[in-house]
Amino acid sequence: MVSRMSQIPVLMYHHIAPHPGDTVTVRPEVFAGQMRLLTESGYRFLSADELVDHVTGANPVQEKAVAVTLDDGWLDNYLNAYPVLERLGIKATVFVITGRTDAASILGCKSSAEIPIHEEAKKHILEGHAERVVLDWKTIRSMASGGLLGFHSHTVSHRRCAELSSGELLHELSASKQALERELGRIADYLCWPYGSFSDDAVRIAVQAGYRALFTTMDGFCLPGSDPLRIPRIEAQDSVEWLRMRLAQG
């Protein structure tokens, strides 16, 4: 029988922004409430390394634990999520689209920026103004310096990996890994698939590119013995009560 303690939820966030009902968005006050709920409920927050050690059985976690992940590297993660994580001492993993971060770094992201809705954020990127909505390398280095946040790959350009040729995919995975390691001075071992799009061949190429574990959008909890190349996650909803109920289902 699987122990409840061994079932680790990996929470998946994108935008932390004040736009109720917007795509892949959790409001800042709800995010803060969810983090307080986890903290007050006695959860241990895991880094990506600790989570993968649990899954592979290298160092299984014996206590109640959770992992927090944030996809895409949105500027609102710095403005609205990072202060909460820092204040509560919460470890988290951010998956960065390195081509967008490169673009944002040309002018530098704006720490006082107004946060647009998701579709407007995508429009800013398409129009060449990634710095308005995406983290730059300087800000990422600052966030990483405290030791709570790890930064890993979400590819170069956020394309659907199952639809790419082998050559295109290898570039997306290798170049993003190299950019992270060059800019942050540490190994980037983990990859998150954009849109949850991958195939068996994509997994093979990711291993070839040097990734130790791969994060998906498949729903579920992580257990010792789970496949580290197909790590499931739980998409966060904009409700503290939703999280309370979802955790009880583990």
Residue 78: pLDDT over 90: yes
| Cβ atoms within 10 Å of 156's Cβ, excluding its own | 23
Residue range 184-213: mean pLDDT, rounded: 98
Q: Largest Cα–Cα distance in the chain? A: 54
Residue 223, Ramachandran bin (φ over 0: left; ψ between -120 and 50: alpha; else beta):
beta
Q: Give the position of tokens 């998956």.
A: 95
The confidence score (pLDDT) of residue 1 equals: 40
For residue 4, name the pLDDT band (cuts at 50, 70, 90).
low
Q: Give the CA distances from residue 229 to residues 3, 85, 185, in Å, rounded to whole numbers and listed in that order.
A: 22, 27, 24
User: Which residue's structure tokens are 């030791």?
Assistant: 147
- pLDDT of 6 reads 84
Within 13 Å of residue 36, how many CA atoms lie on the same side as its CB?
10
d(CA 93, CA 108): 22
Model confidence, pTM: 0.96
Q: Is the pLDDT confidence value at 51 over 60? A: yes
Q: Which amino acid is at 24?
A: V
Q: Distance (Å, rounded) from C-alpha 176 to C-alpha 39?
A: 33
Q: Which pLDDT score, from 0 to 100, does residue 224 have?
A: 93
Query: What is the per-residue pLDDT for 3?
Result: 56
Question: Is the pLDDT confidence value at 58 over 80?
Answer: yes
Residue 222, classed as helix, strand or coil, is strand
Domains of the chain, with CATH numbers? Answer: 4-248 (3.20.20.370)
Residues 20-44: pLDDT tens digits? 999 999 999 999 999 999 999 999 9
Cβ(70)–Cβ(119) under 8 Å? no
Predicted pLDDT of residue 111: 78
Give residue 110's pLDDT. Answer: 84
Lookup: tokens for 91:
């470890």
- Percent of the chain at pLDDT exceeding 90: 94
